[in-house]
């Protein structure tokens, strides 16, 4: 149910960084700060995105800049403590924040402390607890129409822990996949994406001994898919209409009966299938149990989707994160993930 490759911080950064560049911290009048936007998911390798704010223009616009000279330390309640290294690989070049990592994996039901120090920006600190594993009892899907548009309808039953207050987050994205074409010729493997491989294949493709192989490689590029639900207990309806699209659906366990809840929602199929190779991928449905600070932060950001464009940006409040002496959030989650393949790969 979980991805076989290491899942980065991307699902949080997909929308948060885009918002931060558009007056996401409009009421911040202090000096530039360290920024952490990290969702620590049980089972994922430790990767922490760290950046700094750069005030531009009149002082209201906040932009991000990478930093590689910070000291980043992660510790867990059992006594483990690690110094994270900056990821300078080509894969991380396109990220808007610097990525600090260590080859350790986040564990469920564990408290983590993140400490960051910088020679100019000072120190920042955050603490989060990764919840117990999320429990999805059943999950069924069917193709339906919503206002004439095709959607994937999902029905699932969640189970919570009787002695804890839990917040659940539902989201769906399309992860883009690269279709890699390779072939073997005279004992050597060639990649058709290279100039050498492409030219050689054009010459030898009719040789019966030459077989073209296609593999799909997951990229760290994602399209967020719109969600819809008329469930009266989802927290989205406190600030948004049931006919509107949600980027995430939020549900608190206060409405669970006998520690169970049946939730029905749908996913817009607009990006499920494409004829363009660069847009092909797989659909990921994620059902998460989120720490209190992450749950609150994401709800606030979801509300901003409604507020942006409807009231002046300088009247918006900054989301309350848990990063002391810095900005952003370091939050924990566990998840059940379901993959769907609709594109012809």
Q: What is the pLDDT of residues 236-263, one digit of tens each?
A: 999 989 899 999 999 999 999 999 999 9
CA distance 146 to 282: 22
What average pLDDT values come out for the chain (345 residues) when binned by 10 residues? 39 44 45 88 94 67 80 94 89 79 95 96 96 95 94 96 90 92 92 92 92 87 93 94 93 94 97 89 96 93 67 58 92 96 88
pLDDT at site 182: 94
Residue-range domain boundaries for the chain: 10-132+289-334
Q: pLDDT, tens digit, for every residue of 170-186?
A: 999 999 998 889 999 99
Would you state the pLDDT for residue 178?
A: 87
pTM: 0.83
Residues forming a β-bridge with 57: none
User: Could you tell me if residue 199 is left (phi over 0), alpha (psi between -120 and 50 degrees) or otherwise beta?
Assistant: alpha
Pairing of strands 327-340, 34-41: parallel
pLDDT, residue 221, reads: 84
- The whole-number pLDDT of residue 60 equals 52
């Amino acid at each position: 149910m979980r991805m076989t490759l290491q899942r980065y911080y991307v699902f949080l950064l997909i929308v948060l960084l885009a918002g931060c560049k558009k007056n996401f911290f409009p009421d911040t009048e202090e000096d530039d700060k360290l920024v952490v936007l990290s969702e620590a998911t049980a089972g994922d390798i430790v990767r922490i995105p760290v950046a700094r704010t750069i005030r531009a223009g009149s002082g209201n616009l906040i932009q991000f800049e990478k930093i590689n000279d910070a000291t980043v330390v992660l510790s867990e309640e059992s006594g483990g403590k690690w110094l994270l290294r900056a990821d300078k690989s080509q894969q991380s070049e396109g990220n808007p924040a610097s990525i600090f990592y260590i080859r350790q994996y986040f564990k469920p039901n564990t408290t983590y402390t993140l400490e960051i120090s910088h020679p100019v920006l000072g120190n920042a600190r955050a603490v989060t607890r990764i919840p117990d594993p999320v429990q999805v009892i059943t999950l069924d899907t069917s193709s339906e129409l919503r206002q004439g548009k095709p959607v994937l309808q999902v029905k699932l039953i969640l189970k919570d822990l009787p002695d804890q207050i839990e917040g659940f987050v539902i989201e769906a994205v399309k992860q883009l996949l690269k279709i890699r074409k390779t072939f073997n010729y005279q004992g050597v493997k060639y990649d058709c994406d290279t100039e050498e491989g492409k030219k050689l294949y054009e010459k030898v493709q009719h040789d019966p001994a030459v077989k073209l192989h296609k593999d799909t490689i997951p990229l760290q590029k994602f399209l967020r898919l719109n969600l819809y639900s008329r469930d009266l207990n989802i927290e989205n309806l406190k600030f948004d209409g049931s006919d509107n699209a949600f980027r995430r659906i939020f549900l608190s366990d206060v409405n669970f009966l006998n520690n169970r809840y049946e939730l029905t929602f749908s996913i817009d199929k607009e990006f499920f299938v494409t004829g363009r190779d660069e847009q092909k991928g797989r659909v990921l449905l994620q059902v998460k149990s989120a720490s209190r600070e992450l749950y609150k932060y994401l709800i606030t950001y979801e509300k901003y989707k409604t507020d942006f464009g409807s009231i002046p940006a300088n009247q918006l409040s900054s989301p309350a994160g848990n990063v002391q002496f810095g900005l952003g959030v370091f939050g924990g989650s566990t998840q059940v993930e379901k993959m769907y393949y609709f594109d012809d790969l």
